[in-house]
Amino acid sequence: MWRDLTPIGRDDRTHGYHRFAWTRADHTLREWFVGEAERRGLDVVVDRVGNQWAWWGDPDEALAAGRPGIVTGSHLDSVPDGGAFDGPLGVVSAFAALDALRRDGFEPDRPIGVVNFIDEEGARFGVACAGSRILTGAMTADRARSLTDGEGVSMAEALRAAGRDPEGLGPDAETVRRVGAFVELHVEQGRHLSLPEVDQPLAVGSDIWPHGRWRIRTLGEANHAGTTRLADREDAMLGFAAAVISARRAAEANGCVATVGKVVVTPGGVNAIPSEVTGWLDARGSDETAVRLVVDEVREVVADFEGLLTEDSWTGPTPFDPALVRRLATRLGGIPVIGTGAGHDAGILANAGVPTAMLFVRNPTGISHSPEEFATSQDCLAGVEALTTVLTDLAGASA
């Protein structure tokens, strides 16, 4: 499975991935998902948002009998020049765990689902976990349809080009009700498991830090970079640069993290004074109030330059289901339980009331959202084994 996925959306120069929602690469990934599901005789259902669900067993029959399904899986899209593991590891491990259960002759007492959430990274339309947010109502379909990508293409137009009716987009409570519990396996995005005093291949995820994305817009006046006197310049980049520096300073002062990783400059000529700069602040931290303080400081700096800072997305403190976390940690021999600063669809489902937890697979580089992201085959197989144990426990007759 891994070999089949590797070339899809891969930049042969950087070996990074460009797998954005509703693009050609995404279409190929979705075809791969259907192929793997059909090879296993799983029923593939696509919900109102476009998320793909492959079911072993009938989720509606089980739900009616009071035994809602157990779902695992993740996403297949990437950030620009992203790594190979963030997302795909969870989907491949889910199919591999099903294979292991069947090899062991396991008869699930509940349906088991494998999900591929669309547009988790928000790399094209700017809102992370868009597929799970629209599914659970955390983002309205109207707002989603109007989001635009760097070329000004709206999500509605992208859906239409992908053969989907944008008017059908919306929350899908029936799909969410089928999920009795969700466990997302994901590559670790950090080096905790590689610390000498930890040195573990796996961990259970306990919570996701509060985090959000804010759009910063500063305005100026386009003019000639060579002939315009400094006193006559209205350079939009100055306010933007001040905002970026203030974000870093405020993060350091408040025990948070912050960066501005995406900027669009208008008109974007080397020899033209910027008339408009739009950039996106990503700020996170274990303490919600502290993150808000960071954003407030940046907002003040932006206002000093008559700019605008608006919130694109926010996810508050997201604890996973404590009983489920404990159950997984116990079942898996007391492996570490760690929080994360990375957002996941699991967090959106948890905030929608679905009992949810995560499994992390060690990443020796600790690097993510980069071609350097890595996990050894040995640790990945340990992840599949752990997921198989978890599914046996959660979907078994004793559950």
Q: How far is the CB of 135 from ligand HGY (least distance, A)?
A: 16
Per DSSP, helices labelled H in 235-351 are 236-254, 288-304, 322-331, 345-351
Burial-class residue 232 by CB neighbours within 10 Å (0-12, 13-18, 19+). Answer: exposed
What span, in angstroms and rounded, lies between the C-alpha atoms of 98 and 112? Answer: 8
47 binding ligand HGY? (CB under 6 A): no
Nearer to ligand HGY, 108 or 210 (CB): 210
Residue with tokens 């993510």: 368
What span, in angstroms and rounded, lies between the C-alpha atoms of 394 and 384? Answer: 15
121 binding ligand HGY? (CB under 6 A): yes
Binding site for Mn ion (CB under 5 A): 86-87
Contact 23, 150 (CB under 8 A): no
Nearer to ligand HGY, 57 or 82 (CB): 82
Binds 128: which of ligand HGY, Mn ion, none (CB < 5-8 Å by kind): ligand HGY
Amino acid at 312: D
What span, in angstroms and rounded, lies between the C-alpha atoms of 356 and 350? Answer: 5
What span, in angstroms and rounded, lies between the C-alpha atoms of 153 and 161? Answer: 10
Q: How far is the CB of 368 from Mn ion (least distance, A)?
A: 6
What span, in angstroms and rounded, lies between the C-alpha atoms of 72 and 357? Answer: 10
* Closest C-alpha to 214, from 275, 294, 120: 294
120 binding ligand HGY? (CB under 6 A): yes
Binding mask 123-162 for ligand HGY (x = CB under 6 A): -----x----------------------------------
361 binding ligand HGY? (CB under 6 A): no
- 297's CB contacts (< 8 A; 6+ apart) are 246, 247, 249, 250
Binding mask 251-290 for ligand HGY (x = CB under 6 A): ----------------------------------------
343 binding ligand HGY? (CB under 6 A): yes
342 binding ligand HGY? (CB under 6 A): yes
Residue number of the CB closest to Mn ion reads 86
Nearer to ligand HGY, 121 or 149 (CB): 121
Nearer to ligand HGY, 168 or 261 (CB): 261
Residues making contact with ligand HGY (CB under 6 A) = 120-121, 128, 342-343
